[in-house]
Amino acid sequence: MAASTNSADNPSADYRKQWHSNILTGYQSLATQSQALAKRAETYCQAPSPEGLEKTKQAWLEAFLAWQQVRFVDFGPVEQGNRAWQFQFWPDPKNLVARKASYLLKDDAPITPEKISESGVA
């Protein structure tokens, strides 16, 4: 028996399609906001000013909020090279979060909220 492609016969296909569409829209927004942040930061670095700093902070906030819309996606390219951690805890110039998270993941002991708070990851 051939599988039906009719959405009336398979409503979960519609839900998956909508879910994928929402993820795509979220990542497009993240890309747009991240590009705006990069431009704003470059402008600020070329001519620092209190007003420029405030605009840069606002651009960072908008990019961070766009990230929050897609951070639940824990598969695919965002999981390569600790990208999710880098986004969540940026700026992290010494890559402390990735190093400490890697240490916790290599340990055989279960990860608990107490262990995380003691390790300084969060």
Tens-place pLDDT, residues 30-59: 999 999 999 999 999 999 999 999 999 999
Whether the predicted model's global pTM rises above the 0.75 cut: no
Q: Tens of pLDDT along 56-109?
A: 999 999 999 998 898 888 777 777 776 777 777 777 777 777 787 788 878 888
- Mention every residue, 6+ apart, whose C-beta is less than 8 A from residue 44: 52, 53, 55, 56
Write down how long the chain is.
122
Q: What are phi and psi of 91, to 5 degrees?
A: -85, 140
pLDDT class of 2 with cuts at 50, 70, 90: low
Take residue 95 and report the two structure tokens written for it: 């890559």
Long-range contacts, 87-91 (Cβ 8 Å, 24+): none
The Cα–Cα gap between 15 and 95 comes to 37
CB 109 within 8 A of CB 97: no
The Cα–Cα gap between 29 and 63 comes to 8
If we measure between CA atoms, which residue out of 77, 90, 61 comes closest to residue 23? 77
